[in-house]
Amino acid sequence: MSRLDYFTVAIVAICILAIVFLLYRTTDLFKTDKPVDLPPRQEEMVEDTMDAEVINPEDYDPEYTGESASDSTEVTEGASANPVKTETEEEPAEGYEDLYKAGGGTGNYLVLAGSFEYRHNADNQAKRLKGLGYSESEVVLFNRGKYATVLVSRFDQLSEANALVTRLSGQNVEAYVHEKRMKAN
């Protein structure tokens, strides 16, 4: 055999040894069957009673925009005791009246126009929609406050919700219909 053959055999042997070593480290093939004594769990399991669907947006300050929708720590650096509002409320453009009559607050079909990790982005989208004539647009928190979602309206009929989505897409606003989940009792 030539030197190249010896070298090839050596590389194959090293590869086989590496595979055996990995199998040894990742499986219990070579270990004894001694049970491991772990201390019993001390935690008590508690049922989560929080409504995961929608958190009441009235519990939050809609003017505060400096943190994530899921961030609950206080911001102390650079915060002013008296916040100054520099922007004026945007009025609907001329020729735009309310483009729809809201379906009320009890509909099972929600028209959503975006979910945002940061609350101020959702507030900006809701403000834009109000400027387009959708005066009942609001920001609601889903998934225990992790996402701020822009809710345009609620409807009892799927066809009404789809009609609003069509109107919104004609105004370059991405929206979709979300069917409200029923709570399991």
Q: What is the pLDDT of residues 93-107, one digit of tens each?
A: 443 333 333 444 567
- Helix (H) or strand (E) run with residue 177 in it: strand 176-179
Model pLDDT for residues 10-23, shown as the tens digit of each residue: 999 999 999 999 88
Contacts of 92 (CB under 8 A, 6+ apart): 130, 131, 132, 133, 135
Of the candidates 106, 111, 103, 179, which has an alpha carbon nearest to the alpha carbon of residue 150? 111
For the chain, what are the domain ranges? Answer: 57-68+96-179
What is the pLDDT averaged over residues 140-164?
85
Cα–Cα distance between 139 and 151 in angstroms, integer? 6
Compare 29 and 147 and report the one with higher pLDDT.
Answer: 147
Of the candidates 54, 64, 59, which has an alpha carbon nearest to the alpha carbon of residue 146? 54
Q: Class of the 57-68+96-179 domain?
A: alpha beta
Percent of the chain with pLDDT over 70: 55
